[in-house]
Amino acid sequence: MSAKIRWGVLGGGGDSLIGILHRVAASMYDKYQLTGAVFNPDFEVSKAFAEEIGIGTDRIYADFDTMVEEELKLPPSERIQVFSVLTPNFLHYPMAKKLLASGFHVICEKPMTMTYEEALDLQKTHRESGTIFALTHTYTGYPMVRQMKKMIEEGVLGQIQKVDAQYYQGWINPIIHDAELRNTTWRLDPEKSGISCCMGDIGVHAYQMIEYVTGMEVSTMLADLNHLYEDNEMDIDGTVLLRFGKHIKGVLRASQIATAEENNFTVAVYGKKAGLKWEQENPNYLYLLEEGQPLRTLKPGHGYNSELSLDGTKLPPGHPEGIFDAMGNIYKGVAKAIRSEAYDPAEFPSMTDGVRGMHFIETAVASHAEGNVWKNL
């Protein structure tokens, strides 16, 4: 049996949801060993957290630069092989760039960078490094999303005619109406979050999902964003019209002020022969719609599903799987790539997804700022 992949973590300490999600996902298939980390900018806090979760503190480092420097002093057989970047947005690019240039594999939270220019530069570094890079658009790890992708790829829907993606949350609604309170979240700080809040945080998930399941690329788009208050620089709601071709169109709706919504992410694709719909809050159900036929519900774990879907299914039919399992499937795919094993490119989002995601965010903001005009992507 192969030795576990030596894994390092940047950020994700304390009660961070992202930190827990990645640690559980990495442990799911017994392929990774948490070897070192910088969980927090405060060295003592970082060490205390390591002790809390039961790992040694000998490779808990004071800061990121020290970590890279010290790890590179170790022989390849001992040094960390892959790092997960779980920090706020503004740190993704400098950390990922230095790691790739130093020969480490990288698993990065989205959005990949703060700007499209940075994304292109990171892509260049990645190509030169020969390493593996994965972007954690977690929802691509769900078995029924993967089934949706394969069914569309196999022509079950026929010629695609309409794409509709909705991602509605309400978490920022209690914050945005208080001028003092809205200054307390980094999501609304362009220095830390980038030029977009809603589109940069959840709209980009919907955009990536559309291109992932359909296999098509958006060619042009028109965005209408909402900031709600004049003194708020960041979009918190918006609608984007999409064109994939002359007769293939779509709409992307994203909001963080959809009052009382939790994580209402839905993607639907309609073709000449049939349609498919998936809802994140009920992820084990993929709905197949056909003219003149009763609605069919497809579920994970059954033999009628694709190899890609079944590979990401851990439990027998009827046993719910969720967000931890989805992220675990991404880590599983990355492990295959690191070990030079055969894998389907659909097993984890790549650098290309990150570059196109940043292009989407900047194009959406520009389309709105220029008077809601069509922009090429």
At 226 the pLDDT is 97
Tell me the sheet residues that pair with 264. 168
Phi-psi region at 43: left, alpha or beta (left = phi > 0; alpha = psi -120 to 50) = alpha
Q: Do 293 and 210 lie in a common domain?
A: yes
Q: Are residues 123 and 194 in the same domain?
A: no
Using the 3D structure, point to which of 103, 138, 173 is the last residue of a domain.
138
pLDDT along the chain (377 residues), means of 10: 87 93 95 97 96 95 98 97 95 97 97 95 97 97 98 97 98 93 88 92 97 98 96 95 95 98 98 98 97 96 95 87 93 97 96 97 96 95
Q: Which of 120, 138, 156 is the C-terminal boundary of a domain?
A: 138
Q: Is the residue at 224 inside a domain?
A: yes
Same structural domain, 273 and 257: yes
Check whether residue 81 and residue 146 sit in a common domain.
Answer: no
CATH number of the CATH domain containing 272: 3.30.360.10
The reply to whether 75 and 190 lie within a common domain is: no
Say yes or no: 128 and 166 in one domain. no
Let me know if residue 329 belongs to a domain: no
Domain-located, residue 262 = yes
Radius of gyration, CA atoms only, the chain: 21
307 and 359 in a single domain? The answer is: yes
Query: What CATH number is given to the structural domain containing 30?
Result: 3.40.50.720
| Domain membership flag for residue 331 | no
Same domain, 52 and 109: yes
Which residue segment(s) compose the domain that 363 sits in? 142-315+349-369
Q: What is the DSSP letter of 184?
A: S
Asked if residue 255 is part of any domain, the answer here is yes
Q: Are residues 23 and 89 in the same domain?
A: yes
**Does the residue 335 lie in any domain?**
no
| 149 and 65 co-located in one domain | no
Domain end call among 119, 138, 157: 138
Relative to beta strand 220-226, strand 375-376 is antiparallel
Q: How many domains does the chain have?
A: 2
Can you tell me the distance from the alpha carbon of 306 to that of 293, in angstroms, rounded to the nearest whole number? 22
Residues 290 and 194 in one domain: yes
Report the phi/psi class of residue 297: left, alpha or beta, with left for phi > 0 and alpha for psi in -120 to 50: beta
